[in-house]
Amino acid sequence: MIENTSDENSRYWREYWEWAAQQRRKDRGPMQSGFWDRMAGRYSEKDPADREEPRLDAAFDLIESTGLGLAGAEVLDIGAGTGSLAIPLARRGARVTAVDFSAGMLKQLEERAAREGVSIARTIHASWDEIDLDAEGLRGQFNLVIASMTPAVRCPVTFSLMQEAAKELCYYKGWVNREWDPAFYELYRLLFDEEFPVNSHGLSFPLVDLYLKGYRPTIRIEQEEWRSEETVDDMVERVSGFFSSTKDIDEAMKDRMREYLRERARGGKYLSKTVATTGMMIWDVRARCGNF
């Protein structure tokens, strides 16, 4: 006889998700606002059209498949960054509230919006896990709440807050798998004699959480190859930033990274390649199918 109730299933899963999230310290690397402040200038550089446009098209196709009209819609973008979704949404007539814990990222967003003549309804400089929905007037206010490729929504509490801000739809995009450039794996082994840990904000945790609660989101899985050409010094900062989520990085380590990358660079530039498999899903917070 099966004795577990759906509530128990959900509780056990959320306990595991919370444990997994805590394996990455909040005060390190990508979990820290300073990391993104330093990255803001690079992220504000526009992606090539052949990479940016298909990504936007896929997101908007999924959103619009629900029948939601974006013109006049109230939209909350959690971890909005430099506005890769917030600005196109606003251009389509949505009233966008953008939240990010990086002042540098929000500054780039506001400057880009001004350059492009797009109005962002509101920006909020805050960490999503510390947000007070009632004090900020965010609870149940949005036709669409978005969390796309952001560490802001990475655990049960932040995922619940996302849904509590919605009155209709939620859209989430996260990692399914990431094959980093070989330099990440080789440098991690060289410096620490360990394998580079893969522990990202991923699709599986929120997807199972939704399923156990009776939601049936619409899901799309995509894969693409990202290529980036950076100076050796910029690559050192990027690699050390991600490594710092689990390790302390000193200048001697950065010097070893620099030496490794210079040997593999051309004309002072290092070409990195990442194979990114991502998943996006959308669901209506009002529509639960019940439990089996």
What band does 49 get if pLDDT is binned at 50, 70 and 90?
very low
Q: Which helix (H) or strand (E) holds 255?
A: helix 251-264
Report residue 267's pLDDT band, with 50, 70 and 90 as the boundaries. Answer: very high
Q: With respect to residue 51, please indicate whether it lies within any of the assigned structural domains.
A: yes
- CATH number for 122: 3.40.50.150
More confident: 52 or 276: 276
Phi-psi sector, 252: left (phi>0), alpha (psi -120 to 50), beta: alpha
Whether residue 204 lies inside any domain: the answer is yes
Residue 82 lies in a domain: yes
pLDDT of residue 20: 86
Model-level pTM? 0.84
Asked if the structure places residue 238 within a domain, the reply is no
Q: Are 179 and 225 in contact (CB under 8 A)?
A: no
Q: Look at the chain and report how many structural domains it folds into.
A: 1
Q: What percent of the chain has pLDDT over 90?
A: 71
What tens digit of pLDDT does each residue of 16-48 get? 999 988 876 554 445 554 554 455 455 545 454
Domain-embedded: residue 97: yes
In a domain, 35, yes or no: yes
The closest alpha carbon to 119, from 78, 81, 89, 149, belongs to: 89
**pLDDT at residue number 40:** 46
Beta strands in the chain (DSSP E): 74-78, 95-100, 122-125, 142-148, 166-179, 218-231, 269-284
Which range is least confidently modeled, 19-23, 56-60, 203-207, 287-291?
287-291
Residue 235 maps to a domain: no
Would you state the pLDDT for residue 100? 95
Taking the C-alpha atoms of residue 84 and residue 90, their distance in angstroms, rounded to an integer, is 11
Band of residue 200 on the pLDDT scale cut at 50, 70, 90: low
What pLDDT does residue 232 have?
96
pLDDT at 2: 44
Examine residue 259 and state whether it is found in any structural domain, yes or no: no
Domain with 97 in it: 6-177+199-225+277-284
